[in-house]
Every structure is written in structure tokens, then in C-alpha cells.
Amino acid sequence: MMKTLKGKVAVVTGGASGLGRAMAIHFAREGMHVAIADIEQARLDAVVGELRTHGIKALGVRTDVSKGPEVDALVMRVVGELGGVHVVCNNAGVSPLGAAWENSLADWDWMLGVNLWGVIHGIRAFTPLLIAQDEGHIVNTASVAGLINPPNSGMYNVTKHAVVALTETLYHDLGERRSNVSCSVLCPAYVPTGIADSERNRPPGLANPATEKSPEQMAREAMLRKAVSSGRLSADDIGAAVLAAVKADRFYILTHPKIQGAIRARMEDILEGRQPRNPMTL
């Protein structure tokens, strides 16, 4: 457990907006120096300015988390300019929709690159430093879609289940080595953020070959935007929950209690050998 956070260093990927920005602000309020990574330079610069108003050191590093060398460069910048690292939030994520057979290879490459490889690179690059100092905490952002499987979200569900599995395994790996480094997995439901518009950040090389969206795709995207915008918890609420979990050394960060019924139903379906129920109808 981290005894004190003031004066320590936090790193947040996807830190220029949404949940990442909220996490960064809560760490700054706690007196931590903060590095944020994102691919949107203008937003990075704006959030760095916000963070510095709390009297802490802040650093913004343009980073594509799907690329290992760029995450390695992020580590070097953080250690070189902020003097170390203690809390790492692998948070960057995107959310294209579609039935399991509809998504293109470019869709899969983009989704896996950001949502899964981004976490893999963060764990690979930062964990050895935390282990060497025998202090630190890693927070990986998954989703309730890492615990249940809503329809029309196959790619998203795959990546978020993988993040939950990877983080649980990381916890056991650290425990076997008797390390004082710990970790958490964040599994929120709908929160008003810009994730429904993540298409704005898709790399040109991974553009969807489809030139027009079907009426079904457009309807699904509209539903996602409505669900995200109507989320009852704000990004600030989630940022506060992450800070509290790091302080308390709590592994599962489940921010929306009402979703627990769907999680329980999935476990029951597995254990009872039943056909899986649609979690969106429970």
C-alpha cells in the first residue's frame, strides 16, 4: 500500500480528456506530480496547464500507446523530467461498435492496439521500475464490458475482458514475488466522456475501408452517445474512485453498483451451464 502520495509521480495515458483527465486532476489535488500521455497535442497542453494550477509539476507527452517504442520514450521522459514514477494508469481507450462479423481488420487493429496493447506496453515498460523501488500502484482501465458481454460490442468486450484477465494475473505475479507493488482494474459503466467520438483519433493507416455507414451502424452509434451522455456518474466521480482505490489498495474498482446483477447473472449462467442471457435486458 502506498503510505503517502504527496510528492510522488503519477502517469496517466489517455490523460487529455475524459476519465484520464479526471484521474490526473485528482492526483494533482493530492499533491502528486503528474505526467499525462495522449495523441491530441492541443488537449495535452490545455490539461497540463490545468494541472499546474495545483502547484505541482506537470508534463504532457504525445504518445501513441499502441506503439511500444513510444511508451518506452514516455517512461524516459517521465523519469528524466519528474524524477521517477509511482502510480501508473493505463487508461487510453477507444470504442467502435458493430456485430461480431461486421468489423474490418482495420477496426480490430485499432481497437486491439489502443485498448489492449496500450495496457500491455504500459505494464511491460513501467512495472520493472516499480518493482525495483518496491513501491507503486498500477491502475488498468477496463470496463463493465470486461465482466459482461453486451451485444454489438464484440471488439470492445474482447479487449476489456483481456485487460481484466491481464490485471488479475499481474496481481498474482506481483504477489508471488512478494512485491509491495500493487494494482487495480477499473470497470466503470457509462460515464459522460468523449469515448463515443473516439473515431476522431483513428490513425489514417487504420481507416475503416467502408465509405458509408449502414443505418444500423448509425443507430448503434446514436444509442451509444445517448447512453454515454446520460451516465449518472461523472468523470470526476470516477477519478475520485480511482484515487480512493489506490489509497486503500483495492483491486476491483466497480463504480456502478446496479451492474452487479448482470455480472452475477453471467457467473450463474456459466456455473449452471445455461445459455448466456443478454446483459442489456437484465
Give the 3-state secondary structure of residue 69: helix
What is the predicted pLDDT for the residue at 224?
Answer: 43
Give the C-alpha separation, 41 to 226, whole Å: 27
Fill in the amino acid letter for 238.
I
What is the distance, to the nearest Å, from the Cα of residue 14 to the centroid of all Cα atoms in its chain?
Answer: 8
User: 129 Cβ partners below 8 Å, 6+ apart?
Assistant: 75, 79, 84, 85, 136
For residue 187, is pLDDT > 50? Answer: yes
pLDDT score, position 268 = 97
Confidence band, pLDDT 50/70/90 cuts, at residue 282? confident
Dihedral sign computed on CA atoms, order 111, 115, 120, 122: positive
Indicate whether 201 pLDDT > 80: no
Contacts of 125 (CB under 8 A, 6+ apart): 68, 71, 72, 74, 75
- Give, in degrees to the nearest 5, the angle at Cα 84 between 81 and 87: 120
Which letter, b or e, does each residue of 235-268 get, where b requires 16 or more Cβ atoms within 10 Å of its Cβ? bebbbbbbbebbeeeeeebbbbeebeebbebbee
Among 156, 171, 190, 252, which one carries the catalytic annotation? 156
DSSP string, 46-65: HHHHHHHTTTS-EEEEE--T
Q: What is the mean pLDDT of the chain?
A: 89
Q: In whole angstroms, how large is the CA radius of gyration of the chain?
A: 18
> How would you class 106 by CB atoms within 10 Å of its CB: exposed for 0-12, middle for 13-18, buried for 19 or more?
middle
- Residue 196 is predicted with a pLDDT of 44
Annotated catalytic residue 252: no
Quick check: 16 pLDDT over 60? Answer: yes
Domains of the chain as residue ranges with CATH: 9-194+233-281 (3.40.50.720)
pLDDT in tens, 213-225: 555 555 444 454 4
Q: State residue 212's pLDDT score.
A: 58
pLDDT of residue 205: 65
The CB-side HSE value for 234 (13 A sphere, CA atoms) comes to: 5
Q: What percent of the chain has pLDDT above 70? A: 85
Collapsing DSSP to helix, strand or coil, 225 comes out as: helix
The answer, yes or no, to whether residue 114 has pLDDT greater than 90, is: yes
